């Protein structure tokens, strides 16, 4: 073994031991026996041989630091789509991204078969306005091929100066050929909770992402809806295209509607990866019907909420099957300013269902259909339109039908704007009607 190979082996062994020490510091002492097992020296010799050949023969010069980072990155990205190595820059970007304001396109992404997959476009962002959809596969970023890029490299390309453009080449299910979508970068400000009244007594709350104050914001939104409607007869909680976020926020949102019992639990290989989260007393709706909307863009924390409410039979889940990200990632800072993001546990619903790669199956499947309005629709003639028709005999004055054809400023009905939400509202009305009749 020459001096270079020997030094490289020592460097890599030291790196491995350093990672073991870092892991031990965060409470993984129970792995001591595994950590003390002999290092796979034969495999490490192969690594150093490859390292040396790349160092000497690759067409372009690469520093030792670059090659070591590539090796660590490859080791982590090979584990699963969510584990990754974060160099100093990527670690800083991650911290910026969790602050609720950052520059970019406004999409949550993951890696799939070497390409960037859109988990969901974030509400009110350039990506959503440009027409990006959950499930889109991004194969090119401007003139750069995504194949071979790491997730952090792809994020770095997509972020840039607000006002600058980037062209994404996208493969979409059902499309005959790749789509080219130009998006103008902007400062992304994520508003966690939005709310409005659908009809008198029926409220709508949309959670776009789970942040540290989402639970408090939800309580404020429901309180406001109650004041506007003199109470609520039912609520639609919209978690469609919600990529997840902070675990504690998902627990708080679930707890807002559940009086007692388990909300979610996690299981991993270490004791500190096993956690259980329970509800506290109190239901903000006091038992009023609740519908939760989910789709293929609902992931992670969204699935925790949907699964908990479904298992407790507190809500009807409506829409399409969710994304299926049921794993927990932990950020482990390293001593040199870098970090690793590694999967440490799986989520389970109160009834013991694993969310991972399964997702939440809705109680009522409703596809996001688009109902087209026919402008030239023949108006049907009714009895009341016939000349000399008999009155109905109930003593009420007949209403004169307005025949105004001014539809320029008429807002589209809910059934045309959002069919899934329209169905959820109808279901809430039906549940209230049935409850009222049974109470008689």
HSE-CB at 122 with a 13 A cutoff on CA atoms is 27
**Residue 12's beta-bridge partner residues?**
none
Length of the chain: 440
Alpha helix positions (H), 108-202: 126-130, 151-158
- Characterize the bridge pairing of strands 234-238 and 290-294: parallel
> Of 313, 340, 333, nearest to 259 (Cα)?
313
Alpha helix positions (H), 204-275: 214-229, 247-255
Query: Measured between alpha carbons, how far is 64 from 70 in angstroms, rounded to an integer?
Result: 10
Could you give the 3-state DSSP secondary structure of residue 212?
A: coil
- Characterize the bridge pairing of strands 339-348 and 364-365: unpaired
- Cβ(241)–Cβ(291) below 8 Å: no
Query: Measured between alpha carbons, how far is 269 from 330 in angstroms, rounded to an integer?
Result: 13
Q: Give catalytic residues, as residue numbers.
A: 300, 311, 325
Contacts of 2 (CB under 8 A, 6+ apart): none
Total Cβ atoms within 10 A of residue 194: 15
Contacts of 85 (CB under 8 A, 6+ apart): 69, 72, 73, 75, 76, 77, 152, 338, 340, 341
């Amino acid at each position: 073994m020459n001096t270079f190979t020997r030094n490289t082996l020592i460097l890599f062994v030291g790196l491995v031991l350093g990672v073991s020490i870092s892991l031990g510091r965060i409470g993984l002492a129970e792995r001591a026996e595994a950590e003390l097992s002999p290092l796979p020296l034969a495999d490490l010799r192969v690594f150093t041989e490859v390292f040396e050949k790349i160092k000497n023969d690759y067409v372009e010069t690469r520093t030792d630091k670059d090659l070591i980072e590539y090796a660590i990155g490859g080791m982590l990205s090979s584990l699963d789509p969510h584990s990754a190595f974060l160099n100093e820059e990527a670690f800083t970007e991650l911290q910026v991204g969790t602050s609720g304001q950052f520059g970019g396109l406004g999409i949550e992404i993951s890696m799939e078969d070497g390409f960037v997959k859109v988990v969901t476009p974030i509400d009110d962002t350039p990506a959503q306005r440009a027409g990006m959809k959950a499930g889109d596969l991004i194969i090119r970023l401007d003139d750069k091929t995504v194949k071979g890029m790491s997730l952090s490299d792809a994020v770095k390309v997509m972020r840039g100066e607000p006002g600058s453009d980037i062209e994404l080449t996208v493969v979409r299910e059902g499309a005959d050929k790749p789509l080219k979508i130009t998006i103008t970068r902007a400062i992304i400000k994520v508003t966690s909770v939005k709310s409005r009244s659908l009809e008198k007594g029926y409220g709508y709350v949309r959670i776009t992402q789970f942040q540290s104050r989402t639970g408090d914001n939800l309580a404020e939104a429901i309180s406001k809806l109650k004041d506007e409607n003199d109470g609520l007869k039912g609520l639609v909680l919209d978690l469609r295209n919600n990529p997840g976020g902070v675990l504690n926020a998902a627990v708080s949102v679930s707890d807002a509607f559940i009086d007692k019992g388990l909300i979610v639990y996690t299981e991993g290989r270490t004791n500190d990866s096993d956690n259980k989260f329970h509800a506290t007393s109190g239901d903000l709706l006091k038992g009023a019907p609740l519908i939760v909307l989910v789709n293929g863009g609902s992931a992670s924390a969204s699935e925790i909420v949907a699964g908990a409410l479904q298992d407790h039979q507190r809500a009807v889940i409506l829409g399409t099957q969710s994304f299926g990200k049921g794993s927990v990632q932990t950020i482990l800072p390293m001593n040199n300013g870098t970090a690793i993001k590694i999967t440490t546990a799986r989520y389970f619903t109160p009834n013991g269902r694993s969310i991972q790669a399964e997702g939440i199956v809705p109680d009522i499947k409703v596809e996001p259909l688009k109902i087209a309005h026919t402008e030239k629709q023949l108006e049907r003639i009714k009895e009341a339109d016939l000349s000399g028709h008999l009155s109905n005999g109930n003593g009420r004055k007949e209403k004169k039908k307005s025949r105004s054809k001014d539809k320029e400023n008429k807002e589209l009905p809910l059934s045309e704007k959002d069919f899934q939400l329209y169905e959820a509202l109808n279901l809430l009305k039906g549940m209230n009607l049935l409850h009222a009749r049974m109470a008689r």
